[in-house]
Amino acid sequence: MSIFKLQQFSVKQTVSGMKICSDSLLFGALIPVGGVKRILDIGTGTGLLSLMQAQKCSALSPKTLELITAVEITAEGAAEAKDNFCASPWGSLLNVVHQDIQSFTEQAVINNSAQYDLIICNPPFFSHHSPTQSSNALRHIARHTDYLSFSDLSHSLATLLTKNGVGYLLVPVSIKQEIRQYLNHVGLDISAVINITESKQHVAKVMVLKVEFGIDTEGAPSKIDLEKTLCKFDLDNPSKNSHTHTVQQHLSPFLLRYKNGK
């Protein structure tokens, strides 16, 4: 059994399509949760991102979080996420829904369900005909847009976010303009970008997008307010796999290597 241990919780990742990686850990750590009441995690997989938000919210005072809803299309992933939630200190704040986000969104509209002030997602981004297709069915679903297109994702974000709500997406740099077009079509826009690189010597391959309702009255997309680059590793540091100071600050509440301030 594959288990990834963190300071306050552990993640079983035996069957889920995507295993924990440094990009997903950093993404989960970067998302701000101050004042957030309801969080939606689209395509939760192992439940890592939901668990990280639960830990951050529980550390805030006063505690305002009401519920984190984690939607997962595969039965195997949903079951694994549920196990991970139940084994964590925040089981009462975490709820897994085994469903595709398209029908989840449709039901929310029919039932007039409460919207979310924070939506997080590390979506699949390879097209149906991509040569990277995997023989592992669960991994394929997690990585390819066959079951979740950018259009459907954008629609769900626009439908389920509150008026002042914010979405955070972890996507490849190469699809920035493509996904922005879909977001603009439903009245959303990218208000901030964090490009993530391995080091100063590397080009960014993935980025964190902050998404909000940002189309002006004439229908033109607003200007991105903030774009910056975050390097994961300091190659000038003699210590192997040494995180940069900024990344270490973000990951220090989670990784075992930083427990007790080490």
Preceding omega of 62 cis (within 30 degrees of 0): yes
Name the packing angle between helices 176-185 and 150-160 (round to 10°): 50
Token pair, residue 197, equals: 């690189």
Q: Residue 143 pLDDT more than 80? A: no
What pLDDT does residue 221 have? 55
What pLDDT does residue 198 have? 94
Compare 113 and 234 and report the one with higher pLDDT: 234
- For 119-129, the pLDDT digits (tens) are 999 987 545 44
Q: Residue 139 pLDDT more than 90? A: no
Question: Do residues 43 and 72 lie in contact, with contact meaning Cβ atoms separated by under 8 Å?
Answer: yes
Q: What percent of the chain has pLDDT over 90?
A: 76
Phi, psi dihedrals of residue 166, rounded to the nearest 5°: -130, 140
Q: Residue 239 pLDDT more than 80? A: no
What pLDDT does residue 222 have? 61
What pLDDT does residue 138 have? 41
Across 30-58, average pLDDT: 97
pTM, entire model: 0.89
* Of residues 121, 177, 128, the one with CA closest to residue 153: 121
What pLDDT does residue 32 have? 97
- Mean pLDDT, all residues of the chain: 88
What pLDDT does residue 80 have? 96
Across 160-173, average pLDDT: 96
What pLDDT does residue 260 have? 84
Q: Residue 114 pLDDT more than 90? A: no
- Domains of the chain in start order, with CATH, are 3-261 (3.40.50.150)
Q: Residue 179 pLDDT more than 90? A: yes
Q: What percent of the chain has pLDDT over 70?
A: 85
Token pair, residue 136, equals: 């592992």
**Hey, which residues does 171 pair with through a beta bridge?**
207
Name the packing angle between helices 101-111 and 150-160 (round to 10°): 30
